[in-house]
């Protein structure tokens, strides 16, 4: 089996650049999230929790899910150090059949580009949401300067919206929210936020 690249970088993941990017993503997310409404958020592909940890202040419960066990270890130590009581970490394999499901909202930030089968993962996430629940998806716009065998070079928002509607989501909207320097495989790139309802 191939080594999980995120296991290898998890302990060095929180660089100043990544922390600042996460802050800017959070700022664009805050006006759209259901903050303070006693809801449950699932942060899928949460990494070290740069988004999920600050969001614990605004949700009843935040479920932090990742397929890198080392990312989850880093996260667990942050949760403990900060005395956070309403966060739960979980491996992807433990999600199915878990009592935390279905959830009110799902956040997918900078994760879709790393998953080969886009439709399959979005269908899976659709199944984890309550009726009326929302998906918040942050990722890179299609970027012809980026080419990597293991990573999508961003997404065309219109194509992604069509796929998301085909899966069954409604009230789908998206727009470019950030323009960043050297952020996507060391190339300048823009990021979009897509919001969709089950
Ligand atoms: C670039 S990091 C983003 C972390 C965080 N969401 C953020 O915005 O700071 C991508 C994360 O997605 C996780 N990931 C990649 N493929 C995944 C999959 N199939 N299922 C769950 N997590 C996955 C990686 O382990 C990694 O922690």
Pairing, β 129-140 against β 187-197: antiparallel
Atom 20 of ligand 1, residue of closest alpha carbon: 67
For residues 185 and 146, the answer to whether their CB atoms sit within 8 Å is yes
100-121 tens-digit pLDDT: 999 999 999 999 999 999 999 9
Residue among 1, 47, 49 to mutate when testing ligand 1 (max atoms within 8 A of CB): 47
Cis peptide before 6 (omega within 30 of 0): no
Cα 44 to ligand 1 centre (Å): 7
Starting at the edge strand found earlier in the chain, the sheet holding 129-140 runs: 87-91, 61-66, 40-44, 103-109, 129-140, 187-197, 170-184
- State whether the beta carbon of 49 lies less than 6 angstroms from ligand 1: no
33-84 tens-digit pLDDT: 988 889 999 999 999 999 999 999 999 999 999 999 999 999 999 999 999 9
Fold of 5-28+37-197: Rossmann fold (3.40.50)
Q: What is the pLDDT of residue 198?
A: 98
Distance CA 198, CA 182 (A): 34
Cα 155 to ligand 1 centre (Å): 16
What's the token pair of residue 129? 């949401």
What's the token pair of residue 70? 């080392």
Q: What residues does each domain of the chain span?
A: 5-28+37-197
């Amino acid at each position: 089996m191939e080594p999980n690249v995120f296991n290898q970088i998890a302990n060095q993941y929180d660089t100043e650049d990544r922390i600042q990017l996460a802050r800017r993503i959070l700022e664009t997310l805050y006006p759209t999230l259901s903050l303070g409404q006693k809801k449950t958020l699932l942060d899928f592909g949460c990494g070290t929790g740069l988004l999920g940890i600050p969001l614990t202040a605004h949700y009843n419960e935040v479920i932090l899910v990742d397929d890198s066990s080392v990312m989850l270890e880093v996260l667990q130590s942050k949760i403990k150090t900060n005395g956070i009581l309403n966060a739960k970490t979980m491996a992807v394999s433990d999600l199915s059949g878990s009592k935390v499901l279905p959830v009110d909202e799902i956040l997918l930030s900078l994760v879709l580009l790393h998953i080969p089968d886009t439709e399959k993962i979005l269908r899976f996430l659709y199944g984890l949401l309550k009726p009326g629940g929302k998906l918040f998806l942050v990722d890179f716009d299609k970027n012809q300067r980026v080419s990597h065998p293991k990573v999508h070079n961003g997404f065309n928002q219109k194509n992604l919206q069509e796929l998301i509607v085909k899966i069954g989501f409604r009230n789908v909207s998206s727009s470019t929210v950030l323009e960043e320097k050297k952020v996507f495989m060391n190339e300048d790139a823009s990021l979009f936020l897509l919001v969709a309802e089950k």
